[in-house]
Amino acid sequence: MSEATILKQAEGNYLLKGKVQFRNVTRVQNDLYVLMKNRESFELNLQGIEHYDSSMLALMLSIVRHAKKLEVSLRFTECPEQLLVMAELYGVTGLIVKL
């Protein structure tokens, strides 16, 4: 498994790859915040995530809040099924799915 990286797929469209966990989530969050600046829309593809813990949900919620603050239209795509199950267990599915 590799360290988390963010790859540009198209303008305003990025792929998150690797491991997202407590030890690196702050760096990933800060990198995403920079990429979201001065955008009307931002799409984050989660298909490349190889491993994550509950900090991934915290990251997603943080990104949602930041997007609202910046008035950026945000969309998560290719969300792993187990991450959606975790979101349901924490009661935050509606916050990350219906943006």
- Domain with residue 62: its CATH number is 3.30.750.24
What's 12's DSSP letter? Answer: T
Q: Determine the Cα–Cα distance for residues 94 and 99; give it in Å rounded to an integer.
A: 8
Q: Per the structure, how many domains does the chain have?
A: 1
Q: Kindly report, residue by residue over 7-41, the tens digit of the pLDDT.
A: 999 999 999 999 999 999 999 999 999 999 999 99
What is the pTM (predicted TM-score) of this model? 0.92
User: Strand 5-10 vs strand 13-20: parallel, antiparallel, or unpaired?
Assistant: antiparallel
Domain of residue 14 covers: 5-97
